[in-house]
Amino acid sequence: MSGAGPLHFEISCDPARLDIDLVHAFLSRESAWARGISRDVVERALAHSLCFGAYDGATQVALARVVTDRATYAWLADVFVIETHRGMGISAALMDAVIAHPDLQGLRRFSLVSSSAPGLYARYGFTQLVKPEIWMERFDPDVYARGDSAAPA
C-alpha 137/C-alpha 135 separation (Å) is 7
Q: What is the pLDDT of residues 13-39, one digit of tens each?
A: 999 999 999 999 999 999 999 999 999
- Predicted model pTM: 0.89
Give pLDDT, residue 146. Answer: 86
Given a cut of 70, whether residue 52 has pLDDT beyond it is: yes
Given a cut of 50, whether residue 1 has pLDDT beyond it is: no
Q: What is the pLDDT of residues 119-140, one digit of tens each?
A: 999 999 999 999 999 999 999 9
Given a cut of 60, whether residue 4 has pLDDT beyond it is: no
Give pLDDT, residue 150. Answer: 59
Strand order across the beta sheet in which 73-81 lies: 10-12, 50-56, 59-68, 73-81, 109-112
C-alpha 72/C-alpha 67 separation (Å) is 11
In the chain, helix, strand, coil percent, each to 5? Answer: 35, 20, 45
Q: What is the pLDDT of residues 55-92, one digit of tens each?
A: 999 999 999 999 999 999 999 999 999 999 999 999 99
Find all residues with CB under 8 Å of 144, minimum gap 6, and list them: 28, 34, 35, 36, 37, 38, 41
Give pLDDT, residue 49. Answer: 98
